[in-house]
Homo-oligomer: A and B are copies of this chain.
């Protein structure tokens, strides 16, 4: 059986392509990732890949969507573990930093890699939904809710990027202490 003839049901192949794409994006720069290479790794023809992802942007959008789903799940779980409220909101920030540390390629794809405007908008929408919900409830008196949300995002995003770009080395306990939106120490 040739690679191109490997039997995949339509939905299964899409899932397999996304799964392999998630691995590939951690192995190499998104710029270098090609649909052809993805086809080779999954063992199907390029034509079979194009049926699911007509171009690279379509694949990147699918990977970004999967990344946001996973990030949101990690943030929800962290918030619940922390018991919600202010501690839960800080925990969602720390979960954002840990997601970046553990999935640098995916994180850059969603939040740092230059993307098409449409794609960026989607990312912003989804990433900001939980943030705004948490921020709105926790914004200190006298502070603009948008400013508070932006400050919280900037804090987590900045620590994530400083870590990914090798500017600082931060252990798990320090992540929690830095990403304390209540700023109580």
CA gap between A169 and B123 in the complex, in Å: 14
Q: A120-B166, A155-B154, A185-B142 are in contact. Are A178 and B147 (CB under 8 A)?
A: yes
Which residues of A, 136-154, contact B by the 8 Å Cβ criterion? 140-144, 147, 150-151, 153-154
Contact A147–B123 (Cβ < 8 Å)? no
| Tally of this chain's copies | 2
Best-buried of A111, A155, A167 by chain B (most CB within 10 Å):
A167
A interface SS class: helix
Bound Cα distance A150, B159 (Å): 8
**Is there an interface contact between B162 and A178, defined as CB atoms closer than 8 Å?**
no
Asked, given contacts A147-B178, A150-B178, A174-B150, whether A123 binds B167 with beta carbons under 8 Å apart, the answer is yes
Interface pair B159/A111, CB less than 8 Å apart: no
Q: Is the CB–CB distance between A165 and B123 below 8 Å? A: no
Q: How far is the CB of A175 from chain B (nearest CB, A)?
A: 10
For the complex formed, measure the closest distance between the CB of A25 and the CB atoms of chain B, giving whole angstroms.
17
Q: Is A168 an interface residue (CB 8 A)?
A: yes
